[in-house]
Amino acid sequence: MARIGFIGLGNMGGGMAANLAKNGHDVHAFDLNADALAKAKAAGCLPVDSAAEAADGAEAIVTMLPAGKHVAEVYDALFGVAGPTAILIDCSTIDVATAKQVADAAQAKGLAAVDAPVSGGIGAANAGTLTFMVGGSAAAFERAEPILAAMGKAVIHAGANGAGQAAKICNNMILGATMIATCEAFVLADKLGLDAQAFYDIASVSSGQSWSMTSYAPLPGIGPDTPADHDYQGGFAAALMLKDLRLAMAAAQDVGADTPMGAKAAERYEAFAEAGQGGLDFSAIIRTLQGNA
């Protein structure tokens, strides 16, 4: 079992750190929020007073932070204390350029680094069933894999540094656009007089099937339990979907990719968030189509 420094104990990071501790790792955890530190302690982690203290003596350092600027700032603080054999594992969702830059900076200091953003949401973080998309060298991936496996059900090597972030934003661009199309279909079906359950029973086994339909239906009482059954509380916040779509659009602009559906999805989620609905689950976008937002 490894000594692990974990930095960033928010909605996702708290569950991830707890699962590392549950799997027997010695987790030294840091967050600016005192309540998050208390929860980490209750879950078997050792709370510490700074990111540098979490990194000191760690064999692996895991970060789960809001944006690229935070990752860059924390990495600057880590470089002076991280041991020469430590591996840096950033699980944040950030822009591809920053992911490459911090990995290059780490490697210049003689440290291995991977970007390993996640898919699965808060429930999967708590349950230890996340999917990790990992960018980095084959050797770095091999070192990171057992750490990530303690927090997830799938750990997939996407390619070189930055590839994990690229996979994440492309995946979530599909998710954002597909959810809107799924919501549109449910609303249209209702206006055409179709029973929602009957439509679900048909579409979920037909060519219109998608994860947004069968695993995350945006209407309450349809399919498995989803945030829609809890007034769209919990799950994956619309503001976070907007963040990922903005990252995807920025990346598309950088490489000259034409992403009209992704761009339209970003516009809809931006308007939804600006209307004060960013804290709701992203499937609550259906309310804008129903006229409820």
* Catalytic positions: 168
Question: What's the residue count for the chain?
Answer: 293
Dihedrals phi, psi of 62, to nearest 5 degrees: -105, 130
Cβ atoms of residues 283 and 232 within 8 Å: yes
Q: Within 13 Å and on the Cβ side, how many CA atoms surround 181? A: 16
Residue 77: which of 61, 93, 96, 97 has the closest Cα? Answer: 61
Residue 56's CB: how many other CB atoms inside 10 A?
19
Find tokens 């600006």 and name the residue.
274
Find tokens 């692996």 and name the residue.
60
In the chain, the N- to C-terminal Cα span, in Å, equals 49
Residues 6+ apart with CB under 8 A from 251: 95, 96, 166, 169, 257
Helix (H) or strand (E) segment spanning residue 257? none
CA-to-CA separations, 26 to 45, 55, 56, 266, in angstroms, rounded? 7, 12, 13, 40
Residue 116: which of 166, 57, 80, 153 has the closest Cα? Answer: 166
Taking phi over 0 as left and psi of -120 to 50 as alpha, with beta for the rest, 163 belongs to: alpha
